[in-house]
Each structure stands twice: as structure tokens, then as C-alpha cells.
């Protein structure tokens, strides 16, 4: 991992992941919609990794017509690209969004379609190079639709299924595709959610994501107990599950 593009570069989980990256000769492009936030994160990261070079790039995930340009300019600035981490997302108020066609489509655009657009470009580039890593933060929420968050959850399910297929396609080219499935983590995204012992610290999840990048893991549940929790949740028969208030 020497030349890394992070989309959603100002996200807490991306920041905690990149804190573990070491130099020298390592370059990281932080891309995202809010330049001020990107600069703040970059300055923080520089104090952790003084021998890593950082750059920022302002782009909204919904600017599809600029996705290719982002890759082209990142490759020009970094000199090469070997790792792409996609970490942007929004967790909407499901009760509000589920009643609105417009908001539902918007959430799918941010949490699913923009991710797939970026992965398509990354995959074509890495396929031609015959190496590289594409890592995407999906969610355990994509494992089973629940009334309380099925807009976000189904968008993440789309991402996870897409990555499964992409991993299968990319295997023969030596390209790693990593699906990251965190449970609930204390980040700005979950501010205001009721406290729960299941909340993980972002530092721990960031470290797990970094280790998954280094070890080229296929699918990461973080913290690992979510693998068991989701196995139980998925095993509940649909006839019972549909009656639960989840
Ligand atoms: N925290 C959790 O419990 C949890 C659990 C499972 C999965 N995840 C996933 O982990 C990833 C990181 O989230 P986080 O927890 O670190 O929350 P976060 O700190 O709030 O990060 C969310 C990021 O998404 C970016 N973003 C949102 N809309 C965007 C857009 N239209 N264009 C570009 N960037 C956009 C935000 O940047 P701007 O503010 O600049 O727009 C921000 O950097 C997300 O994919 C999230 O779905 C989080």
C-alpha cells in the first residue's frame, strides 16, 4: 500500500484506518465533498504519519461525470494507484426517507450507485494493471432488511452483492476486493443514536480495516462478534422476522 485513494476521506472510519498507514514513499489522496473537513483530517493525519504525503480532492459522490477525472488526476498526482478505499455514506432518518420517492433515490445514489460507479472505474484500472486492492465500507445493515433502516440497509446490500461479484471477476487478475462490514461504531454518523454496549470504538474498527487491507481479506466483520450476531439474525424464519419490531 503505497498509493492510496480514499473516497470519503473525511469520514471518521477512513481517518482511523489511514492513521495506521506508514511511510516513507507512501502517498494518500483524500477525496470528499467538504474541502474544509478534508483539510482538517489531512492536518490531523500528518501529525500521525509525518513521513506520508497527503493530498486532498474536492468532489461530491453524486458528481458521476467527475469520477473518471478523479481517478485520472489522482494517478497523475500520486504517480500510481494500488489501493482504493471507499468510505463515504449517509445514514438517513428511515421514517422520513421511506415515505419519499425522491429521498429514497437520493440515498440509493449516495450509498449504492456512487459506490458502484467508483468501483467500476477502479476495477477497470486494476484489471489492466493486474494488481490492486478495492476496499469498500458496506455494513452489517445490508445482511437483512429491517423496518427501522431498510433504505440504508438495502443500499448497502446492493453494494455487498456487487462486491461479491466483482471479487469473483477480479480474482484471476490478482486484484483484491474487500467488503468491510462494521456493526455500530461511535462516529459522527451515529451521533444521537441511543447508547448500546454494541457500539465499537472507531480506533478499533479503523485498525481492523487497516489489517484487512494488509492481509487482503475478502470480507471483514468488525468487531468480529457481528459475524455471529448476523448469522443469528439471518437464521430467523421470515414468517417470524416480519412480525418483529426491529
Ligand atoms: N458508524 C457506523 O456505525 C457505521 C456502521 C456501518 C457502516 N458504516 C459506514 O462507514 C462509512 C464511514 O462512515 P463513518 O461512520 O465514518 O461516518 P462519518 O464520519 O459521518 O463519514 C461519512 C462520510 O461520508 C461523506 N459523504 C456523505 N455524503 C457524501 C457525498 N454526497 N459525497 C461525498 N462524500 C459524502 C462525508 O463527507 P462530507 O461531510 O464532506 O459530505 C463523510 O466523510 C460509511 O460508508 C458508513 O455507511 C458506518
Average of per-residue pLDDT values in the chain = 97
pLDDT in tens, 179-238: 999 999 999 999 999 999 999 999 999 999 999 999 999 999 999 999 999 999 999 999
- The beta-strand segments (E) located in 112-211 are 132-137, 175-182
| Ligand 1 mean position, distance from CA 22 (Å) | 23
| Ligand 1 mean position, distance from CA 127 (Å) | 27
pLDDT in tens, 25-55: 999 999 999 999 999 999 999 999 899 999 9
Does 73 score more than 90 pLDDT? yes
pLDDT in tens, 7-20: 999 999 999 999 99
Reported as a pLDDT band with limits 50, 70 and 90, residue 64 is very high
| Ligand 1 mean position, distance from CA 11 (Å) | 5
Residue ID of nearest Cα to ligand 1 atom 45: 89
Q: Which atom of ligand 1 is nearest to the CA of 199?
A: 3
Residue ID of nearest Cα to ligand 1 atom 43: 11
Cα separation, 222 vs 236, whole angstroms? 22
Q: Name the residue among 154, 163, 169, 185 with its Cα closest to residue 85.
A: 163
- The beta-strand segments (E) located in the chain are 3-7, 26-32, 52-58, 83-86, 132-137, 175-182, 219-222
Proportion of the chain above pLDDT 90, given as a percent: 98
Ligand 1 near 90 CB (within 6 A): yes
Instruction: Identify the bridge partners of residue 28 per DSSP, sorted by sequence position.
Output: 4, 54
Average pLDDT over residues 66-73: 98
Q: What is the pLDDT of residue 6?
A: 98
Output the pTM of the full model.
0.98
Domains detected in the chain:
3-241 (3.40.50.720)
Cα separation, 117 vs 149, whole angstroms? 23
Cα separation, 40 vs 63, whole angstroms? 23
Ligand 1 near 24 CB (within 6 A): no
Does 23 score more than 90 pLDDT? no
Ligand 1 near 182 CB (within 6 A): yes
pLDDT in tens, 161-177: 999 999 999 999 999 99
| Ligand 1 mean position, distance from CA 79 (Å) | 27
| Cα–Cα distance list, 45 to 167, 198, 242 (Å) | 30, 27, 45
Does 116 score more than 90 pLDDT? yes
Average pLDDT over residues 127-135: 98
Amino acid at each position: 500500500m503505497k498509493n492510496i485513494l480514499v473516497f470519503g476521506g473525511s469520514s471518521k472510519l477512513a481517518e482511523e484506518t489511514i492513521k495506521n498507514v506508514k511511510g516513507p514513499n507512501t502517498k494518500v489522496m483524500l477525496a470528499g465533498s467538504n474541502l474544509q473537513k478534508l483539510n482538517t483530517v489531512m492536518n490531523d493525519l500528518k501529525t500521525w504519519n509525518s513521513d506520508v504525503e497527503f493530498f486532498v480532492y474536492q468532489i461530491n459522490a453524486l458528481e458521476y461525470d467527475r469520477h473518471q477525472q478523479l481517478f485520472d488526476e489522482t494517478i497523475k498526482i500520486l504517480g500510481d494507484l494500488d489501493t482504493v478505499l471507499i468510505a463515504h455514506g449517509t445514514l438517513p432518518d428511515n421514517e422520513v426517507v421511506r415515505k419519499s420517492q425522491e429521498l429514497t433515490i437520493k440515498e440509493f445514489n449516495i450509498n449504492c450507485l456512487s459506490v458502484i460507479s467508483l468501483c467500476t472505474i477502479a476495477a477497470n484500472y486494476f484489471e489492466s494493471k493486474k494488481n490492486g486492492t478495492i476496499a469498500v465500507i458496506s455494513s452489517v445493515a445490508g445482511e437483512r432488511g429491517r423496518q427501522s433502516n431498510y433504505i440504508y440497509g438495502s443500499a448497502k446490500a446492493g453494494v455487498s452483492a456487487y462486491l461479491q461479484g466483482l471479487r469473483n471477476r477480479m480474482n484471476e487478475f490478482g486484484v483484491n476486493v474487500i467488503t468491510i462490514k462494521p456493526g455500530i461504531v461511535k462516529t459522527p454518523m451515529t451521533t444521537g443514536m441511543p447508547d448500546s454496549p454494541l457500539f465499537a470504538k472507531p480506533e478499533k474498527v479503523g485498525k481492523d480495516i487497516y489489517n484487512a487491507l494488509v492481509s487482503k481479506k475478502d470480507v471483514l466483520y468488525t468487531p468480529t462478534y457481528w459475524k455471529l450476531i448476523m448469522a443469528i439474525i439471518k437464521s430467523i424464519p421470515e414468517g417470524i422476522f416480519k412480525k418483529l419490531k426491529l
